[in-house]
Structure 1
Amino acid sequence: MAALFSLTCVVSPKPSLPVPVRSSNARWRWESVASRVVLQPETRRSRVVALVSQASRVVFRDLDADDFRHPLDKQNTLLLRTIPGLNELGKALLGPMTEQVMLLENIGTSVLVSENQLPGLHKLMIEAAKVLDTEAPDLYVRQNPVPNAYTLAISGRKPFIVVHTSLVELLTRRELQAVLAHELGHLKCDHGVWLTFANIITLGAYSVPGLGGLIAQSLEEQLCRWLRAAELTCDRAALLVAQDPKVVISVLMKLAGGCPSLSDQLNVDAFLEQARSYDKASSNPIGWYIRNAQTRQLSHPLPVLRAREIDEWSRGQEYKYLLKHAIQLEDSLKPRNTFVR
């Protein structure tokens, strides 16, 4: 399970123009893509909340996970794969019974989002999947006072994403779509199965007498290290969909210390300055030791560190290259004309 971590203006459709895009066989193809804005009202506590889906400026065709994967994710994934028998152990623990329990638990306690059920959220998910060039999973909304979202991918079954109601209350629609994109990033990068294994394998190892606890402790440290790196990758996926680093950073800021009544007073630039001050405070040997001790057992990097990472990546050549070779999105419901030369 991958635990986490609006759109507000309406634009008129413009005529779509063909844009050259790099395809997987290194040729160039011309595509014309467009998207329209949709307004879907929803009732909450006797008032109408407008869910407006503002089209992202570009979509990414033939996007590969390694195009945006964080270097630490690549490194720690390779290390995880060297653990003997890890895949086999995970598959044994994640058997048919576990699959059924997880599936029924989610269906029985959440609301499945669709075109006819919370259609505004459904459109945010479909659009985010389109931008990342991936298939949209099922999306559930669950009543929970703790703001969170997570992904569950079970072998042989369609993966799904769960969003807590308190997170919906906390975020704007653009920020909520960034969260959905973050979770889609886990699936795009094949994190889903590993994330599910991470929870079950650790719990299973602790249940083994004697040596099991030692194995679990070592395995948990490696899994947490990998999970923290995977989160950095998925923050990049969120940026690819939001296409504005302040949207992603705002999500992290609100998860660190936000609430609906204070949301209009929060300042992204001040939070980034806070992140820089954390780096400065932990730059000496004692600070470095405390910082590592503080994060060693965490499954997620600290919010200020994630904010700094995504801010730096948004300024880098890798992100700019992806944007340069993306396709303008103007009307996703319009037929796409493709020409290959």
Structure 2
Amino acid sequence: MGEKRRLLGLRAEQFRHPWDREATQALQQVPGLDGLLRLTLGTAAQEWFYLENMATGVQVGWNQLPWLYELLQEACQILDMDVPYLYLRQNPQPNAYTLAIRGDKPFIVLHTSLMELLTPAEIQAVIAHELGHLKCEHGVYLTLANLLVLGVAQIPTWGMWLAQGLQTSLLQWLRCAELSCDRAALLVAQEPQVVVQVLMKLAGGSPSLAHQLDGQAFLAQARAYDQRGWSWLKTPRTLPLTHPLPVLRAQEIDRWSQSPAYQRLVAGKEN
């Protein structure tokens, strides 16, 4: 594949998944959400999380893992956005997350186990997925959802009760938002197989088996699930999850990669 196209002037609405758009509108109507956001995501909380992450991870830059920082730089150039902070943290569970409180001091965290599981192109796709949250301005809702999931929100008793009541709505929104971010990953990878490989490895990979897995077989598995599964059976299965089912994500990204909307974007005909 040749040099990747930079998508100058790219807007979030050009790749935002329709489910993300609908779920965001629904979340904006939830009573009590604005009050909880003010309670948990004030200036003090913002500074605390920023400093806590700086103290417990390794900040990536030109003088620290420059190859990884270069992947971040290129992804930001393709998506036409500012470069956030990037940290690497020791954790045996392959994962990445983004925190951005009211758009200030956004940062991305990669777990070290991702480095053992993924190729550089796949790592960049994960970074691009996280950049998608920033590009789509998921920041405040995403941070609140992450705090609830990570269990680190310091909320008074009445606030925690309110948060628990909102958790179902937040998780529903988060699952939809993730689909937009998968699209951001594809816009950077510009090769759907890379994104599918990431999803497959996160679903059932290990450092010793990752190179043996077949992305096309995983897509066939996704299509078989879609054909045999009933939507009303899938819904209860996904309610407690922060991400859509891996096979659903793989099929969604495969479909979008073949759509006229995606083809126009990467051809530079939409900007």
Question: Which residue is 2:245 aligned to?
Answer: 302
- Structure 2 distance, partners of 1:205, 1:117, is 35
Return 291-300 or 86-95, whichever deviates more: 86-95
Q: Are 1:83 and 2:30 an aligned pair?
A: yes
Q: Residues 59 and 326 of structure 1 are in contact (CA less than 8 Å); yes or no, is this contact kept in structure 2?
A: no
Which amino acid letter does the alignment assign opposite residue 319 of structure 1?
Answer: Y
- Structure 2 distance, partners of 1:55, 1:76, is 37
Q: Residues 39 and 155 of structure 2 are in contact (CA less than 8 Å); yes or no, is this contact kept in structure 1?
A: no
Q: Residues 124 and 177 of structure 1 are in contact (CA less than 8 Å); yes or no, is this contact kept in structure 2?
A: yes
Deviation at 1:66, TM superposition (A): 0.2
Which amino acid letter does the alignment assign opposite residue 192 of structure 2?
Answer: P
Distance 1:183 1:55, change over 3 A: farther
Deviation at 1:153, TM superposition (A): 0.6
Matching of residues 210-221 of structure 1 within 5 Å: 213=161, 215-221=162-168
Structure number having the greater helix percentage: 2
- Structure 1 distance, partners of 2:134, 2:234, is 30
Residue 261 of structure 1: SS of its match in structure 2? coil
Question: Which residue is 1:124 aligned to?
Answer: 71
Which amino acid letter does the alignment assign opposite residue 242 of structure 2?
Answer: S
Q: List runs of 5+ in structure 2 lacking aligned partners.
A: none
What is the TM-score when the length of structure 2 is the normalising length? 0.92
- Structure 1 distance, partners of 2:133, 2:264, is 22
Q: List runs of 5+ in structure 1 lacking aligned partners.
A: 1-53, 328-341
Alignment identity in percent?
53
Deviation at 1:98, TM superposition (A): 1.8
Question: Which residue is 1:282 aligned to?
Answer: 229
Return 88-97 or 68-77, whichever deviates more: 88-97
Question: Which residue is 1:103 aligned to?
Answer: 50
Structure with bigger RCO (C-alpha 8 Å, 6+ apart): 1
Distance 1:125 1:118, change over 3 A: same
For the aligned residue pairs, the C-alpha RMSD in angstroms reads 2.1
Residue 162 of structure 1: SS of its match in structure 2? strand
- Structure 1 distance, partners of 2:63, 2:215, is 35
Q: Residues 94 and 200 of structure 1 are in contact (CA less than 8 Å); yes or no, is this contact kept in structure 2?
A: no
Q: Are 1:246 and 2:193 an aligned pair?
A: yes
Cα deviation code 1:178-208 (max 9, x no counterpart): 0000000000000122111224478678932
- Structure 1 distance, partners of 2:25, 2:232, is 26
| 1:207 pairs with one of 139, 157, 163 | 157
Residue 152 of structure 1: SS of its match in structure 2? strand
- Structure 2 distance, partners of 1:242, 1:261, is 24
Cα deviation code 1:199-234 (max 9, x no counterpart): 44786789329xx74x54541111111100100000
| 2:59 pairs with one of 112, 126, 139 | 112
For the pair shown, the structure with the greater C-alpha radius of gyration is 1
Q: Residues 7 and 80 of structure 2 are in contact (CA less than 8 Å); yes or no, is this contact kept in structure 1?
A: yes
| 1:73 pairs with one of 20, 23, 36 | 20
Structure number having the greater strand percentage: 1
Deviation at 1:81, TM superposition (A): 1.1
Question: Which residue is 1:163 aligned to?
Answer: 110
- Structure 2 distance, partners of 1:296, 1:109, is 32
Deviation at 1:86, TM superposition (A): 1.9
- Structure 2 distance, partners of 1:316, 1:105, is 42
Give the number of equivalent residue pairs: 267
- Structure 1 distance, partners of 2:212, 2:32, is 50
Cα deviation code 1:121-160 (max 9, x no counterpart): 0100000000000111010011111101110112363100
What is the TM-score when the length of structure 1 is the normalising length? 0.74
Which amino acid letter does the alignment assign opposite residue 104 of structure 2?
Answer: R
